[in-house]
Structures are given as structure tokens and as C-alpha cells.
Structure 1
Amino acid sequence: MAFQVLAINPGSTSTKVAWFHDDEEQWRETVRHDPDELAHFEAIADQFEFRLATIERAAFSHGSSFDKLSAVVGRGGLVDPIPGGTFAVDDTLLKRLRVGKPWEHASNLGGIIADAIARPRHIPAFIVDPVAVDEMNDIARITGFPELPKVSLAHALNIKATVRRAAKDLGREWNKLNVVVAHIGGGSTVCAHCQGRMVDLNSGNDFGPFSPERAGGLPAGDLARLCFSGKYSEKDLLRRLVGNGGMKAYLGTSDVREVKKRIESGDEEAKLVYEAMAYHFSKEIAAQAIAMSGDVDAILITGGVAYDSDFVALLQTRIQWIAPVLVYPGEDEMKALAEGALRVLRGEEQAQNYEQRVAGGGGRHDA
């Protein structure tokens, strides 16, 4: 039986839409939104009708009818901690997506819009592997400061999809592999993925290596003193940590390609920061191997920076003693979303119920 799936991925200033006939992508469109136009909406949730109309126009322009769909899948957003997988969008999940806490995020609109298209057509709507996926071992949550446990916020969609790709390449079952996955982009997630679960990770906004635009883990005492120095407001400092930190804070750009050009022209500072970023990622990859007691089948490098063969080579020099290194550049979120929906439609896995998984403790496990 053939299936047609619409995948929706709302970003802060864009809406990505893709139509799939089984595993084959029929068309894809990324609609860029003028920030000034979005500024008229008081809350992200208020953008619902605007974004829905954008998707309707995209489908119409490609001659596609929603009435032919088998399912609609949206990018999952900030919800309560849940295990990985494909979740059916029902009234309980819709209510949670509309809350937009602990902060608002455009990805929450993915499931809301998917339901709006699917419900009147009596077809399922799904979200897949949202950033709130939490499968960490409890031992990994302990930080040494009880008020500040480690929280699981990660690039779960791409991590899970990359593990499945690697398993296929290795001829193994994806939930029997032990791998370290390093998603390296503007932000980062370095994750110990042990037999189907993300048992530990660096939670890139707060821990681990600096990335092109995020500061990563910092000296706690000095950061505390900086908070009370009067130099920054809370908003300004948070923006320095996430958005204007990392490579950008040193070099004024988060574009690794620009940094490479500066290195080629003899910029020694650019070379040092670039190599330092690879050094810190290597350390985090080695640290995540500890979560699996060193029993690692492979190390998977993914995300936008994985296109940079020089950076990957710097990583390999330091980490290849742990396990073979496999490289999967970029992150095809639209395909990953469609694949999650198709697995349910084909009966390969069952759609999970949000309320039951949250009430049952989500994805949390003892070590």
C-alpha cells in the first residue's frame, strides 16, 4: 500500500514543507518570513493561521491536494519529557503544544498545524522525536548542584535518524547499537546512544564544547560573578551564551566557511579557535563513551559542520582509537519526520500516546 505524507517544520523565521510519496520526496519548499511581519503577532501560537495559509499556498503551487494525504507529521516542540519515537497528536498533546513553556518555540506549531490539516480528513497527525526527548539515565542528571540537574534538550530528531542510517550501513539493528553521536551545527548535541536510548548527552546550551554560536560549559564561579557585575542584563547575557557565544564570540562570525578562508589567509587566531573547537568536541565524544563503559560500536559525526572534511579530520585524529568514525553530513529533518510517520503507517512501530508516556515517567531510566 502506498502512502502520502506531508511534513511540516516551522522555524523562527521560516516554514519548511515537504510532500512524500512513500520514501520518495515529491517536492519541498522553504518559505522565508519577514521578521517584521512576524513581529505583529504577540505570541508564536498566534501565528497559527498565518503559517497554515503559507502551507496551503505551497501545496497548491505544487498541484497537491490535502485530501490525498495518508498522514501529516509536524516537528515536535517543547513538551514534557518523553521517550523518543512517533507520537499521535491528540487533544492532550495539542493542549501541551499550545502552552509554549518553559519558553515559546516555533516548532510547537508543527503538531498544531498537522492536526488542523489531518483532523477534518480523518487521518492521523504525528510529531516525531522532539527536542524534549528524555531517555537519560538518572545518574547522568546529577551535576553536583541539586538545584540545577542536567536537563535533556537535544537534536533528537537528527540523532535518532542518524543512528538508524548507521545501523542500516552496518547491517545491525538500530536499537542494538552502542554509538556516540556528535551533531555539530550552530548548536550541538553530543550523545551516548545505547541500544535505542539517549542515555547521556551534553545539552548544548549549558554543557560541553563550544560551538559556532554557543558558549557551552563555562567556569561556574567566573560566570556567577559576571552575572552580578552589572555589565549585562539577564537577557543580554543569555544571548551571549546562546547565539553570540562560541566561535562567534572570538571571531565575529559563526560561519565556519568564512573562518576557513581566514585560516587560509594566515589568520592565526582563527586557526587556534577552529582547532580548539575540534579539541573540545573530541573531549566530549570521549566523555560520552564513558556512559557505555567504552563499549562503542561507532562514532557518528553529523550536522552542518560535518560537511567540513578538515574539521572531521581533526576529530578523527583524537577519537578514532575509541571506535570507527562514520560521517553523515547535514540534517535532513523533513525526511526524518516522514520516516517516523511511515514507520507507523506501515505497522513497523506503534504510535505512542503522549499522556500515557508522560504519566508513566517519560523516557527516564535508572543507570
Structure 2
Amino acid sequence: MTATRVLVLNSGSSSVKYQLLDMRDSSRLAVGLVERIGEETSRLKHTPLTGGGAESREREEPIADHEAALRAVADELAADGLGLDSPELAAIGHRVVHGGLKFTEPTVIDDAVLKEIERLVPVAPLHNPANITGIRTAQALRPDLPQVAVFDTAFHTTMPESAARYAIDVATADEHRVRRYGFHGTSHAYVSRKTARLLGKAPEDVNVIVLHLGNGASASAVRGGRCVDTSMGLTPLEGLVMGTRSGDMDPAVIFHLARVGKMSIDEIDILLNKKSGLIGLCGDNDMREIRRRIDAGDEEAALAFEIYIHRLKKYIGAYYAALGRVDAVVFTAGVGENAAPVREAAVAGLEELGLAVDGALNSVRSDEARLISPEYARVAVAVVPTDEELEIADQTYALVGDRNA
């Protein structure tokens, strides 16, 4: 029997998201989420997608750790005839947030790979430890099965040094691995490639600005299928205004808060990562609620929106300059795919750059990739729903699938 299924795991500090896909047609067989791992009451939501139905099952019970979580996931899959012991399972693909400069493509995990992921924990302290836990647990459950790491940073390793280097002492930067790495790479890779197809062109013939706008947000400049710049940096804090992250600001703000505000490094870290961005500006990080408040005349929400859009426009302009020629600006992720006012405002006033949005096309809600620019626009404006799980599954199966043929 040819193994054609891939289980995709995204392990967070207290959660595990998962999808089981059949790579013959990229169909999903099951999806689910385990959250509040290690708390008094954990929650598992599992949705089988076989047999023409999609009725979810939920469990609320203590789940002590990631091993217990994955065993619970395995039980749910087995109940649908999709167990981890199935000979149809080809591999498990893991989202790993930080791969540094060493990992530029999907990689079969062995002891040496795990050690390198562990070595990168200082530059990804919130993400890589959880990813490692998920990998080790999956290895324990299926030691015979290929486990593949797909790195968020990999797509951005094609950036030239002029874009990746910070202007600080080179020896210090190299010693502590300080440089721009970028994140959301699987999304930027998937969306830029799909945008090229939407335009009827090959990825190598297209220059695209990708705007991944969710609670976390990032922009990338993609020339001929290769990333040449991206907004997130050493960590996901740099760049655009986000739901709870500040994005770009003067680094001396940190010194000021420490010296004058008497704040600790940990307090500043929490402020910039969890209490800034939209939630810091207006108390809400849900764009739908912010727009509702704006429509009701809320000036605080309106200013937060203006700051968000101002930063977004600056990056569109900067990446237009970096690319020289732009074939498309594309919006993706939760806000990018669903918030028509954000798309309209981000492009407004950029007509001299060949950018425009058709109001009627922009207002259409759809799960399909689509153009929202008028026919006369020199640069296409598009909405392309991202699919990071499919991208991870595709990369995983491309690497190990032929072993099972």
C-alpha cells in the first residue's frame, strides 16, 4: 500500500493544532486543536472530514502535557479509522518557528537536527521549546515514521545580506546571531506562488508584495519566487503594527523605559509583545470590533486604525522601491482576507504607483483567491487565502513521499 497521508502538527507552549491530509488530492481527513495543556481543564476539539460529514467532537478534561495531548489526538483519529498506526501515514510534518540560517528547506529530523533547533532556543524562547516537545512526543509515538521540520524562517533565507544585516558591530552580531530572520515563511511562500498562478504566470516571472495580516502581521518583498526582504526581524516583534505587538519603534524606547520608567527587561518584553499594537492603542485587537467602534464614532479606535494603515502603507512603498517592478500586492491571513476596509485604506492614495481597489470586488466575501483591482490598474491587488498547513504537508510529502512509493 502506498502511504499518502501526512499529519501536520503545530505545537505551541500550551496547545497543539493538527491536520491530517491525503496528498493524492490535498484533501483534509481531520482537523483539530488541543488547548490549555497543563491547566486544570484542557479542551480538545476534533473534526473528522471523511464520510461527507464534519461534526466536531469536544472533550474537556485534564491533559497534563504534550505527550498526553498527542495520545489524545491519536485516540480521536483512531476512532475515525485514521489512527497513527495506519500504513497509509507517510510522515509527520512539524511547524518549527526558527531555523536560523542553517535550515533553508524542509528537513528530516534526526538527533543532529534536534540539537540545532535546541541551539536556536535563545532567539526563539517562546516557540522552539514547544516545537521540540511536539517533535519528541511524535517520535515516541511513531519512532519508525519520518518526522519533517518545516521552518517559518526558511523562505526568508534568500534575503541578501543588505536586507538581512542590522547596522551594528559585525562581530557582536555574528556572536549572538543578531540579524533579520523573518517569520510566517510558509504563508509567504504559499501565497506568493498562488498569486503567480492567479496572474497566469510562473512564480519566477512575478514580483509580489505579500501582506500577511493577522493578529501577528508581516510583509515580504518576493522577486521571482524568492524573498528579498521581510518586515519581521530577529523576532516577530519588528515591522507592522500587530494585534498586541508594537512593530517598528526607536530601540532607545527600551532604554528610556528601563532608566526613567524603572521597568525591568521582562516588563518591557511583555509590554511590547503583549500589551502594545492595536490593543495598546485602543484596548481591542480584533479588527472587526475596531471597525464597529469606528462606525460608532470612537476616536480612539479611529486613531489606532490610522496608525495601523500608516505603517502598512510605508511598507508597501518601501517594498515597491526594493523590487523596482511590482506585479501584485496581495492580502492574506485573518485580517487581510476578511477586512475590506483595511485593504481599501492600505491602497488609497497609491494610484501613482499603479495601485487601486475596485469597491464592488473588494466587498465580496469569498474563500477563493481573487483579484480586487479594476482592469485598468497597472498593478494587480489580490486576496489569496493562506494555507500554511497545506504548505507544510506539501513540503513534507515532497521530501519523503517517494520513499513510500
1:336 corresponds, among 364, 385, 391, to 391
Higher mean alpha-carbon deviation, 19-28 vs 92-101, is at: 92-101
Greater shift, 185-194 or 83-92, is seen at 83-92
TM-superposed deviation, 1:54:
3.1
- Give distance in 2, aligned partners of 1:100 and 1:57: 32
Label 1:258 to 1:156 Cα distance change in 2 as closer, same or farther (>3 A). Answer: same
Structure 1 gap segments, 5+ residues each: 40-45, 351-367
| Structure 1 residue 24 corresponds to structure 2 residue 42 | no
1:65 aligns with 2:70: no
Matches within 5 A, 1:314-333: 314-319=345-350, 321=353, 323-329=379-385, 331-333=386-388
Indicate if the aligned counterparts of 1:84 and 1:128 stay in contact, CA closer than 8 A.
no
The SS at the match of 1:17 is: strand
Q: Deviations along 1:127-158, whole A, 9 cap, x unmatched?
A: 22324652221011343333565421311111
Quote the residue 2:321 is aligned against: 290
Which residue of the other structure, out of 93, 101, 106, is the alignment partner of 2:113? Answer: 93
User: Is 2:218–2:240's contact at 8 Å kept on the other side of the alignment?
Assistant: no
Q: 1:314, CA displacement in angstroms?
A: 0.7
Question: Which of residues 182, 187, 197 in structure 2 aligns to 1:153?
Answer: 182
- Indicate the residue corresponding to 2:16 in structure 1: 15
Higher relative contact order (CA 8 A, sep 6+): 1
Question: Once the 2 structures are TM-superposed, how far is the Cα of residue 312 of structure 1 from its aligned partner?
Answer: 0.9
* Change beyond 3 A, Cα 1:100–1:222: closer
CA contact (8 A) 2:160 2:228 kept: yes
* Cα distance in 1 for residues equivalent to 2:139 and 2:197: 31
Partner letter of residue 111 of structure 2?
Answer: D
Q: Deviations over 1:301-351 (max 9, x none)?
A: 11211110111111122446253211124x43322211222333566xx9x
Alignment-derived partner of residue 308 in structure 1: 339
Per-residue CA deviations over 1:33-73 (Å, capped at 9, x if unaligned) read: 2453599xxxxxx9452343233223223321222211211
Worse-superposed segment, 29-38 or 197-206: 29-38
Q: 1:43-122, aligned counterparts within 5 Å?
A: 47-66=65-84, 67-68=86-87, 69-82=89-102, 84-99=104-119, 101-102=121-122, 103-105=125-127, 106-120=130-144
- Report the alpha carbon displacement of residue 298 of structure 1 after superposing the two structures with TM: 1.2
Q: Deviations over 1:175-206 (max 9, x none)?
A: 44321111111222111122232221111644
What's the CA shift for 1:167?
Answer: 2.1
Aligned twin of 1:362: none
Distance in 1 of aligned mates of 2:208 and 2:103: 18
**Once the 2 structures are TM-superposed, how far is the Cα of residue 281 of structure 1 from its aligned partner?**
0.6
Does the aligned pair in 2 maintain the 1:192–1:198 contact within 8 Å? yes
Equivalent position of 1:209 in the other structure:
240
Residue of structure 1 equivalent to 2:196? 167
| Greater mean deviation of Cα atoms: 19-28 or 282-291 | 282-291
Larger CA Rg, structure 1 vs 2: 2
2:146 to 112, 124, 144: 124
Identity of aligned residues (%): 26
Distance of aligned partners of 1:346 and 1:144 in 2 relative to their CA distance in 1, 3 Å threshold: same
CA contact (8 A) 1:210 1:246 kept: yes
Between the aligned partners of 1:59 and 1:162, the Cα distance in structure 2 is 29
* Corresponding residue SS for 2:70: helix
- Amino acid across the alignment from 2:168: F
TM-score (norm 1): 0.82
Q: Name the counterpart of 1:144.
A: 167
Q: Quote the residue 1:198 is aligned against.
A: 227
Q: Counterparts of 1:246 and 1:9 in 2: how far apart (Å)?
A: 25
Q: Which moved more, 1:270-279 or 1:168-177?
A: 168-177
RMSD: 2.7
Mark the CA change 1:289 to 1:118 in structure 2 (over 3 Å): closer, same or farther: farther
- Listed as ranges, the gaps of 5+ residues in structure 2 are 43-63, 355-378
Instruction: For residue 74 of structure 1, report the CA deviation from its aligned partner.
Output: 1.1
Matched residue count: 338
Deviation at 1:110, TM superposition (A): 4.3
Q: Give the Cα–Cα distance (whole angstroms) in 2 for the partners of residues 142 and 82 of structure 1.
A: 16
- How has the CA–CA distance of structure 1 residues 336 and 37 changed in structure 2, closer, same or farther, with 3 Å as cutoff? farther
Secondary structure (helix, strand or coil) at the match of 1:172 reads coil
When structure 1 is superposed on structure 2, of 110-119 and 74-83 the one drifting more is 110-119
**Whole-Å separation in 1 of the counterparts to 2:198 and 2:335:** 21
Determine the structure 2 residue equivalent to 1:353. none
Comparing 82-91 and 245-254, the one that deviates more: 82-91
The verdict on how the C-alpha distance between 1:267 and 1:324 changes in structure 2, with shifts beyond 3 A counting, is: same
Q: Is the 8 A contact 1:73 1:110 kept in 2?
A: no
Contact in 2 for aligned 1:259/1:274 (Cα 8 Å): yes
**Matched residue of 1:211: which SS?**
coil
